[in-house]
Amino acid sequence: MTSLLSDGSWDHEEVHVRTTRTGLPVVFAIHSRGGSGVALGGCRLLTSSNADDALKDAIRLSRGMTFKAAAAGLQHGGGKCVIAAPTPSLTGAVRRDTLLEVGDMVEEFDGRFATGADAGTDTDDARVLRERSRHIVGIPDLEKGWGDPSALTATGVIVAIRAACERVFDSDGLAGRRIAVLGLGKVGADVARTAAEEGAQLYVSDVDLQKKAIADEIGATWLGPEDLLGAETDVLSPCALGGVVNRYNVAGLRCRVIAGSANNQLADPTIAALLRRRGILYVPDFIANAGGMISVAGELDGYDEAEAMTRTLAIRETLQDVFGASHALAVTTVEAAERLARTRVGARLGIGSEQ
């Protein structure tokens, strides 16, 4: 396996760049193996033919997975697998052959890296990976865990929204709250349905127009993605791909809270400071969406459904600490969350935290 060893700018234990027999770039990034010796992170399909795009995605996301694990109190570290393909999705035999080959690559890590479905892949794809590797998680019919982690991810996002609303509005109730959900995949749809059941006023959007059926089902207002981002709401919940909040649209946001399931919702780290200056409370994504990682981590640790739910509900207390530190130290919530994660990593490994 060809390796690119970590350097100071990456701060990764391992980065590997591979190419499938059909010429698709595949990047494996292990930021940290944590106290357990296992890096955990999904296998995503990125719509790109550029290996550099896959490398940047894997580097950024694997780091976030380490922080996510630490903030959730897990012993695992963070990793990521990114497959770059020039079309929105591989299909048929080509898709299966690609996944089988990637499964072989995962097995070569001999347990240092465990993976499952992620953006662009699903549990059927994870089953294909499982044909070639023992280190695949989040498959329902394995009967050793929650299965598809999206339900617990959505639960965590709702917990995060409640915590943020309590901070901003002095109430964690969702009844009457104006909530905009961008992206109606499994997680986003669950978030929207739960908020609707609790009486929230829902605005929803997705690039897939067939998802409008979900809006009709829950009585939500359907908007185009750009219109939704600029809508006057209490909570914006990005539940699609990352980079949705950027320098071009941040000034036009009319929400008080941002809390969603998407990884890397901010296009670059400086956006966090812009949000803070505008009085918009940003819930760091690696805390809000930790439920999925908690779910699949349980498969490696000996699954306890009650413990997984307890850890997910504890996102509320973690965010209370983050919001308090952000205020006390006059730093962004992202900075406060990363400090907390580093402290927990240090405590886990018996070393001083990075300040």
DSSP bridge pairs for 43: 81, 117
44: left (phi over 0), alpha (psi -120 to 50) or beta: beta
Kindly give the confidence (pLDDT) of every residue in the chain, 355 residues in length, as a single tens digit, with 9 standing for 90 and above: 334 433 445 689 999 999 999 899 999 999 999 889 999 999 999 988 889 999 999 998 999 899 999 999 899 999 999 999 987 668 899 999 999 999 999 999 999 999 999 888 988 999 999 999 999 998 876 555 556 788 999 999 999 999 999 999 999 999 999 999 999 999 999 999 999 999 999 999 999 999 999 999 999 999 999 999 999 999 999 999 889 999 999 999 999 999 999 988 999 989 999 999 999 999 999 999 999 999 888 888 777 788 889 999 999 999 999 999 999 999 999 999 999 988 887 665 554 444 3
Per-residue model confidence (pLDDT) at position 190: 97
The predicted model scores a pTM of 0.87
Rounded to whole angstroms, how far apart are CA atoms 9 and 234? Answer: 37
- What length does the chain have? 355
Interacting residues of 313 by C-beta distance below 8 A, sequence separation 6+? 155, 159
Whether residue 212 lies in the annotated active site: no
Fold entry, domain 3-63+77-136: Rossmann fold (3.40.50)
CA distances to 70, 113, 143 from 110, rounded to whole Å, are 23, 8, 22
Interacting residues of 258 by C-beta distance below 8 A, sequence separation 6+? 235, 236, 237, 238, 245, 265, 275, 280, 281, 282, 283
Domain boundaries, the chain: 3-63+77-136, 150-289+319-341
Element (H, E) at 30: strand 25-30
Fold entry, domain 150-289+319-341: Rossmann fold (3.40.50)
Rounded to whole angstroms, how far apart are CA atoms 166 and 184? Answer: 25
Catalytic residue among 68, 80, 186, 211: 80
